[in-house]
Structure 1
């Protein structure tokens, strides 16, 4: 996510100590953050979106940003890279809603209550029973060619990752409340440490390029000989 050192912080500083990730939550899309910040200053969504394009933050076609799909893809990427859950999170397991229907009245109503609207992406561990998984039993026997007899021994409940992307009304005590414009942040929740928030102020295009390059280099390390 841009230049925010999420993976190195987790792999190098938290996971080695025995911490187990149970959830992450963050503002993962700069375009929507810039748009909502602009609307807080009285701009229309169209004006704020144009400002994001002029700054090189929003793409020519921002549909993926506004719909929440860009953030959803990032939720999946983070969950897989951080090995959250007993099996890789799939995009269809992320409930997605975007900012395209947010109005100036919605933003003003949140401000009147001292809150900020932001598009938030998150994934967490949940208990999944056997009948919710891809297999309902173990040790199945082949009765004859092309047929499998259901076995009585059920798979035990497992912890799987489930995610969401949605607009949330953030209160002042929220770790993401202080974000403005293109600021980015992710909070990591573990089974033994206090929540750790990794934040970057004023993310720009160069930060995105740096983050992608760093991720590629990190992914290639196991291949080094």
Structure 2
């Protein structure tokens, strides 16, 4: 159990005891109910791995693994979208680093970059030693600044910020295929075609089935590497 989980468990127990005392002393019902609910959430939420969606138990980690194996399967995308409606309703700060990272990855897959970054930052803050969480935050920061459409113009101010974000992400060791794709699209937006081509080739080398924008693939594969 991580330190933050222990703290949440301890606080949850304290709140539970406080709720019992309030109940014994006949405090107002809303206060007692609130304390009971908070204590249960604090004791149990760090262990949440799955939620019920449409009457079925959904493990987000399993869904992400299925998407990893079949990134273009629309049925998996639909399941992921339905699951994230529930997960996104949870409070990010109460989640474990692992769950926060999974919710962030799910949102990233659905191109919900702002939401993904919110969860990724929680994961990275709670587990500063996680290279994956740090890379995820940096990749999402690159995506936030990259134009959604290939070929869209970039303002000088955005270009400067995007260049800095790219520089930070490229310092990560053993980048994932997803990060190489994000870098490729960002570099193409900045007119750095050769660097973009190199990153796309690296992405496909790491993971041949990594999802790539067809426009990006068409533009980059024409550049020799």
Provide the TM-score with structure 1 as the length reference.
0.21
Higher RCO (CA 8 Å, separation ≥ 6 residues): 1
Report which of the two structures shows the higher radius of gyration computed on alpha carbons: 2
Indicate the structure with greater strand content: 1
- More helix per residue: 2
Query: TM-score, normalised to structure 2's length?
Result: 0.21
